[in-house]
Copies of this chain bind each other. A is one copy, B any other.
Amino acid sequence: MHFTSENRLDDGVLEREFTLGEIPGILWTPRSASAPTPLILIGLPPLGLRTVYARVAARARYYATEYGFAAATVELPGSGERPRWDAAEQARADLRRVMAAGEPVTAEIVDALILPLVDRAVPEWRATLDALLALPEIGGPVGYEGGVISIGVRLAAVEPRIAAANLFAGTFVPGAIAEEARRVTVPLQVLLQWDDEGNDRQASLDLFDALGSEEKTLHANMGGHAGVPHFELDAGARFFARHLK
Contact = CB atoms under 8 A, between A and B. Distances in A.
Interface of A: 194, 205, 208-209, 213-222, 229, 231, 234-235, 238, 242
- Stoichiometry, as copies per complex, reads 2
A238 B208 CA distance: 24
B222 A214 contact: yes
B231 A242 contact: yes
A221 B239 CA distance: 13
A55 B194 CA distance: 32
Contact of A205 (B205, B216, B221): B205
Contacts of A238: 231, 234-235
Contacts of A217: 219-221, 229
Contacts of A208: 220
Given A215-B229, A218-B218, A218-B221, 6 more contacts: A194-B209, A215-B222, A216-B221, A216-B222, A218-B220, A235-B235
Contacts of A219: 217-219
25 contacts: A194-B209, A194-B218, A205-B205, A208-B220, A213-B222, A214-B222, A215-B222, A215-B229, A216-B221, A216-B222, A217-B219, A217-B220, A217-B221, A217-B229, A218-B218, A218-B219, A218-B220, A218-B221, A219-B219, A220-B220, A231-B238, A231-B242, A234-B238, A235-B235, A235-B238
